Structure formats: C-alpha cells, structure tokens
Amino acid sequence: MDDEAALRDAYAAGRFDEATTLALERYGPEILGLLAARLRSDGDAAEVFSIFAEDLWRGLPGFAWRCSLRAWAHRVARNAANRWSVAGARRAALNLPTPGEVIEAVADRVKSTTLIYLKTEVKSEIRRLRDELPPEDQLVLVLRVDKDMEWRDVAMALADEDLDEPALVREAARLRKRLQLATTRLRELATERGLLAR
C-alpha cells in the first residue's frame, strides 16, 4: 500500500478527522522540523504547527488531489508560517486551538517528540550551516534531500498558487538548479569551518 492509500481511503469515505490525523502522524514530524529550521525557534515552530494543524483540518475537505497530500501539507504549513511571520502584534489572534481532541493530541505528540530530536548536536551543526543559506534554499534542501520529495511535489509545495503542467516543469527545473547551488555553498561553508577536508 502506498504512503497515501490510507489517507485517500479516509478522504474518499468523508472521514476527514481520520485523514487529518493520519496526515499529521505521517508528515507532521518533517513539517515541524522544517518550521523549526525556518523560524529558528522551537516555541514559534510549535505555535505555527498548531496553526498548520488547524488549517490542514479545515482545508482537507476541499483538497483536490492535484498533487500529493504531502506536498499540499507542506504548502499549508508554509502559508501558516508566512502568516505568522508577518502577523507581528496580531500573533495572539492567530494562535487558535486545534479543533478536535484527537487532532490536538496528535499535534502535541508530534511537537514533543520532534522538538527533542531536533536538539541533537549533529542537527545543531547542520542547522547552523543551513541557517546561512537563503530561506528558499533551506526549504528546497529540506524537502528534496531530507524528506526525499519528488521534484514535482517540491515545486508544488513551494508554489504560491496551483501551477499548470508546463509551469510546474519549469519551476521544478529552477529548483533543481537552486539546490545544486545551495549544496555547493554548503560544501564551501563546511570546508571553511574545517568540517570537510580541502
């Protein structure tokens, strides 16, 4: 059974709470890790993850399966982080509880286990190097390398709107080149800091 078969089954049967729970369990840790890397604060990442979980729950009935649920969930999380970043003084109004006790419990479990894992020494060193890259490079690196997403899904996850097939192909090619440049820069940074031999 493929990664999203159970999600599709729950979705097709109209069991959206179950589908949301499955999505949070399957993709929540990687999304929370991405949020922590982007926001550079475990507390902010946890807050945005709660907003993301609610957005996912609310938006799932309208999801049209034009891409994988994984890619769409990453887009939902990125949009939640964007709203959080520009909210400033309005952040308290965005901090709404996640609907449903089951979904809230899943979100809390993902946050607690993932944030502990992200604090390891190796992750800290990698995060410091990646933090020196532009935010989009960091996102591409995490989605493609760490999370092994297909280029089509990476392009869809990072797009601000749905892309038609030719635009999706062009965006995936642009992101591949961006990743190539980002990995070259990471090698340079690691060499400068003595982590790699010259």
Compute CA 163 distance to the chain's CA centroid, rounded to the nearest angstrom. 19
The contacts of residue 9 (CB under 8 Å, 6+ apart) are none
Share of the chain above pLDDT 70, in %: 75
Confidence of residue 111 (pLDDT cuts 50, 70, 90): low
CA distance 50 to 112: 12
Question: 70-74, 123-127, 147-151 — which is least confidently predicted?
Answer: 123-127
Share of the chain above pLDDT 90, in %: 21
CA distance 33 to 30: 5
